[in-house]
Amino acid sequence: MTDLVAVWDVALSDGVHKIEFEHGTTSGKRVVYVDGKEEIRKEWMFKLVGKETFCVGAAKMKATINIDAVSGFAYEYTLEINGKSLKKYMENRSKTTNTWVLHLDGEDFRVVLEKDTMDVWCNGKKMETAGEFVDDGTETHFSIGNHDCYIKAVSSGKRKEGIIHTLIVDNREIPEIPE
């Protein structure tokens, strides 16, 4: 990877994906790697600017690397996810998902709740869940190994804050991590 010009880490529901981009500005070569696996390879491209589009993650999110000339032989590389800049996509994502990281039985787990669908992901796999209405909101139950887990959704009572989601594992609250 001698022509590596850009690396991005993209947090999706199924995990954090590493995107690497090689751009040979003399040969015109373009290579895109997702999680170390080659997705696109183009040799001898005469047009040094343009874009490369590919998919990322279990949900096959559309990703595009834009290659723009800045000045002379300098180039700028930007990543878009689902048509939004990576920054905008991640800002929006923090509004539509909750993420928790926990350590159980000597293993690390990353649990993601997609608030729009109420899908729960754990270490890249969509979990089987059971929803239940309770006095003060809802509970979405699932298991990690032999651990009982649920995500409790309760109203904050404030319109701007909306619904508060809390992960409970073995009757213990897990703090959320900002992504």
Q: Which pLDDT tens digit goes with each residue over 39-85?
A: 999 998 777 789 999 999 988 999 999 999 888 778 899 999 999 99
Indicate the domain borders of the chain: 2-89, 94-172
Q: Which CATH number fits domain 94-172: 3.40.50.300, 2.40.128.180, 3.20.20.70, 3.30.1490.20?
A: 2.40.128.180
| pTM, 2 dp | 0.79
Is the CA virtual torsion 157, 140, 62, 70 positive or negative?
Answer: positive
Q: Which pLDDT tens digit goes with each residue over 119-144?
A: 999 998 999 999 999 998 999 999 99
Shared fold status for 2-89 and 94-172: yes
Q: Which CATH class is domain 2-89?
A: mainly beta
Strand ranges across the sheet with 147-155: 130-134, 137-144, 147-155, 163-169, 172-174
